[in-house]
């Protein structure tokens, strides 16, 4: 049998866990239009002692692929990530292939991170082509011979579920995820395409409504117990 203090303590713990889960659901909904975004959830578990605990899970299933008119856009069809490098030299990994030509001619992300080891596109480029294996070619004219500029690398991790969010739709490895492994033979790169977020708007909205109702019920329960506790103190006095 629990004391009133114990009931309040468990209620506070459970409300905190539910509020944290609500934050992950809200973040997933906010990123429903973010290219290549993978939905994040907070799975709750009820312990034998009545306390709620949870674990963060990332759903890495493939998002739908959308055709675009931009030759710099690429989508990854399958598992894997593209390494990108910040102006300060920080390395991260992404599935957001909304790339562009930077001011120095290099292929970069929308926030100017270098793609791979650096792929410089000539100023007089007539045609720009990205093969399914990531190799990048340019043509100086309609009848010119293709010139290889470099390769967009694709890497995979031993445990991608343990990658850590780094902001701006990028991920960084952890000890649990393992180090990136370069994929040499693949046909996963799709030019003139972008991967959409894999957020399920219907299930996420339903989960948010359920959590909101659960939070209201839990806070009302805490108020009832608190009132009972105050009355008990007054009776003793």
* Sign of the CA dihedral running 111, 117, 184, 143: positive
Task: Measure the CA–CA gap between 80 and 50, rounded to whole angstroms.
Answer: 40
Radius of gyration, alpha carbons of the chain: 25
State the pLDDT at residue 1. 45
pLDDT in tens, the chain (237 residues): 456 666 667 667 777 777 777 777 887 888 888 888 888 776 666 666 656 566 677 888 999 999 998 999 999 999 999 999 999 999 999 999 999 998 889 999 999 999 999 999 988 888 889 999 999 999 888 777 888 999 999 999 999 988 988 888 899 999 999 999 999 989 999 999 999 998 887 877 777 777 777 777 777 767 776 677 676 666 655
This prediction's pTM = 0.77
Map residue 236 onto helix, strand or coil. helix
State the pLDDT at residue 127. 87
Which two three-digit tokens encode residue 1? Answer: 């049998």
State the pLDDT at residue 99. 95
State the pLDDT at residue 123. 82
Map residue 5 onto helix, strand or coil. helix
H/E stretch holding 25: helix 4-30
State the pLDDT at residue 233. 67
Interhelix angle 201-236/4-30, rounded to 10 degrees, is 160
User: Residue 50 carries which DSSP code?
Assistant: S
Task: Measure the CA–CA gap between 95 and 197, rounded to whole angstroms.
Answer: 10
Task: Measure the CA–CA gap between 121 and 23, rounded to whole angstroms.
Answer: 41
State the pLDDT at residue 181. 95
Task: Measure the CA–CA gap between 151 and 58, rounded to whole angstroms.
Answer: 28
């Amino acid at each position: 049998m629990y004391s009133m203090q114990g009931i309040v303590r468990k209620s506070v713990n459970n409300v905190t866990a539910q509020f944290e889960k609500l934050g992950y659901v809200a973040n997933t909904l906010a990123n429903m239009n973010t290219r290549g975004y993978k939905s994040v959830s907070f799975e709750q578990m009820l312990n034998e002692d009545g306390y709620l605990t949870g674990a963060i899970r990332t759903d890495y299933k493939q998002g739908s692929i959308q055709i675009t008119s931009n030759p710099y856009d690429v989508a990854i069809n399958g598992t894997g990530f593209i390494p990108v490098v910040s102006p300060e030299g920080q390395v991260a990994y992404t599935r957001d292939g909304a790339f562009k030509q930077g001011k120095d001619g290099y292929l970069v992300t929308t926030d100017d991170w270098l793609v791979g080891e650096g792929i410089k596109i000539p100023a007089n480029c007539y045609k720009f082509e990205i093969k399914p294996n990531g190799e990048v070619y340019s043509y100086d004219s309609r009848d010119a011979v293709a010139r290889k500029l470099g390769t967009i690398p694709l890497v995979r991790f031993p445990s991608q579920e343990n990658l850590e969010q780094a902001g701006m739709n990028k991920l960084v490895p952890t000890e649990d995820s393992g180090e990136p492994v370069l994929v040499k033979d693949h046909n996963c790169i799709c030019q003139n395409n972008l991967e959409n977020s894999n957020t399920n708007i219907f299930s996420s909205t339903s989960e948010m409504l359920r959590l909101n109702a659960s939070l209201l019920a839990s806070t009302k329960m805490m108020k009832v117990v608190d009132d009972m506790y105050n009355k008990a103190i007054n009776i003793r006095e």
